[in-house]
Amino acid sequence: MGGAMFDFLPTNPSDKAATYAELAEAVSAITTGESDRIANMANCAALIDAFVGDLNWSGFYRVVDGELVLGPFVGRPACIRIPFGKGVCGTSVSEKRTMLVDDVHAFPGHIACDSASRSELVVPIMKDGEVVAIIDLDSPSPARFDAEDQAGIEAVAAILAERF
Ligand code: SME
C-alpha cells in the first residue's frame, strides 16, 4: 500500500514546540471522523512514538469496570490491570491529574513494567469530569519530561477526549 497519507514524521525533531504542534495536527487528522477508540489509541501510540524521542514505552490504559486495563501501545509487553491509586498510572486516575515523575525508582508504589524505565509522564483523558483513559510515556532517561512535554501530551489528550 502506498500513499503519503500516513507519512507523519516530525519536520525538525530538535524543535520541541514545533514537533508537539505537528503531533497535535497529526493526531487530529488521523482521528477525525473515526469513532473507534481502539483504532484511534493505536494510531496515537504510534504517532507519539514517532514524534517524541527517547521513549521505551508509549501507550494507553483504559478505565474499564473500575480499574485500568492495558490499551494500545508501542513497547514491551506491559502489566495488564492496574488498580486506581496504584503506581504512577493509578495515581493519575485517582487524583485526576497529570503525573510527571523524574525518577520512577523514587515514586512510592511505582509499577515496573519495563525495567528500562527511569522517568514517566502520565496524562489523563477526561470526559464529563471523569477519567476514561490515560496516556503513559516512559523514558529510559531520568527527568526526560518537562512542562513542554506535559503541555504537548495534554493537547493530545484533549483531542482524543473529543473522540471518546
Ligand atoms: N509504570 C507504570 C505502569 C505502566 S508501565 O510503565 C507501561 C505505573 O507505575 O503506573
> What pLDDT digit, counting tens, does each position of 109-158 carry?
888 888 889 999 999 999 999 999 999 999 999 999 999 999 999 999 99
| Mean predicted lDDT score pLDDT of the chain | 94
Is residue 94 helix, strand or coil? Answer: helix
Give percent of the chain with pLDDT exceeding 70: 96
Pocket of ligand 1 (CB under 6 A): 57, 78-79, 82, 87-90, 110-111, 113, 117, 120, 136, 138
Q: Is the pLDDT of residue 1 over 50?
A: no
Q: Nearest CA to 24 among 52, 3, 1?
A: 52
Q: Which domain holds residue 147?
A: 16-163
- How far is residue 118's CA from residue 103's CA, in Å, rounded to a whole number? 6
pLDDT for position 125: 98
Report the nearest atom of ligand 1 relative to the CA of 59: 7
* Nearest CA residue ID for atom 2, ligand 1: 111
Q: Is the pLDDT of residue 65 over 80?
A: yes
Residue 136 DSSP one-character state: E
Reported as a single tens digit per residue, the pLDDT across 6-20 is: 678 999 999 999 999
pLDDT for position 6: 67
Residue 37: its H or E element: helix 37-51
> What b/e readout covers 127-151, taking b as 16+ CB neighbours within 10 angstroms?
eeeebbbbbbbbbeeeebbeeebbe
pLDDT for position 2: 45
Distance linking the first and last C-alpha atoms of the chain: 29
- Helices (runs of H) and strands (runs of E) counted in the chain: 4, 6
Q: Is residue 9 a part of any domain in this protein?
A: no
Q: Is residue 72 a part of any domain in this protein?
A: yes
pLDDT for position 4: 53
CATH number for the domain harbouring residue 143:
3.30.450.40
Q: Is residue 48 a part of any domain in this protein?
A: yes
